């Protein structure tokens, strides 16, 4: 009987703490900044696809948008270093989240560089990698809610 109680208590503890074992604690700040940046990326890319930024001279009008996105992603990335991750698996998940946010940030910076040098022609495929990378970062940040 005692063994059965120990097994039930152990299983209950594992079920209640399962998310903590495999994922770091959810930080709403990281999620909010990453998702806001993703929304701004989507709006920027929509403008690209509508032809607003085809000319390199248009970069001056978009630099504040790039800076806003970069700032949000930088803040989210930095904040991930403060997320409590008590186990090896949750530390790995935290580090992967940070890398995903940094990948999105790199894609945005690369897009800005291309825009500055060449402009961004609609339907040229220059935006796809940025959109996918930032979508994945936003999904990863939200996945910590679970």
Comparison of pLDDT for 23 and 26, the residue scoring more:
26
Whether residue 12 lies inside any domain: the answer is: no
First and final C-alpha spacing in the chain: 34
pLDDT computed for residue 85 by the predictor = 84
Indicate the pTM of the whole model: 0.83
Comparison of pLDDT for 122 and 84, the residue scoring more:
122
Number of domains present in the structure of the chain: 1
Separation CA 141–CA 145 (nearest Å): 8
Whether residue 8 lies inside any domain: the answer is: no
Whether residue 2 lies inside any domain: the answer is: no
pLDDT computed for residue 144 by the predictor = 80
Whether residue 7 lies inside any domain: the answer is: no
Q: Which domain holds residue 72?
A: 21-143
Whether residue 3 lies inside any domain: the answer is: no
**Buried (b) or exposed (e) across 60-87, using 16+ Cβ within 10 A?**
eebeebbeebbebbebbbebbeebebee
């Amino acid at each position: 009987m005692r063994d059965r109680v120990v097994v039930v208590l152990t299983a209950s503890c594992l079920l209640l703490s399962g998310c903590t074992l495999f994922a770091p604690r959810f930080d709403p700040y990281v999620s909010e900044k990453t998702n806001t940046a993703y929304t701004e990326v989507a709006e920027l890319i929509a403008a690209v696809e509508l032809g607003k930024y085809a000319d390199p001279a248009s970069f001056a009008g978009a630099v504040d948008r790039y800076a806003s996105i970069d700032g949000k992603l930088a803040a989210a990335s930095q904040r991930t270093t403060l997320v409590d991750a008590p186990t090896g698996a949750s530390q790995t998940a935290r580090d992967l989240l940070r890398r995903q946010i940094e990948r999105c940030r790199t894609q945005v910076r690369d897009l800005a560089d291309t825009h500055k040098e060449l402009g961004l022609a609609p339907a040229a495929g220059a935006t796809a990698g940025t959109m996918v990378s930032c979508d994945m970062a936003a999904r990863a940040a939200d996945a910590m809610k679970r």
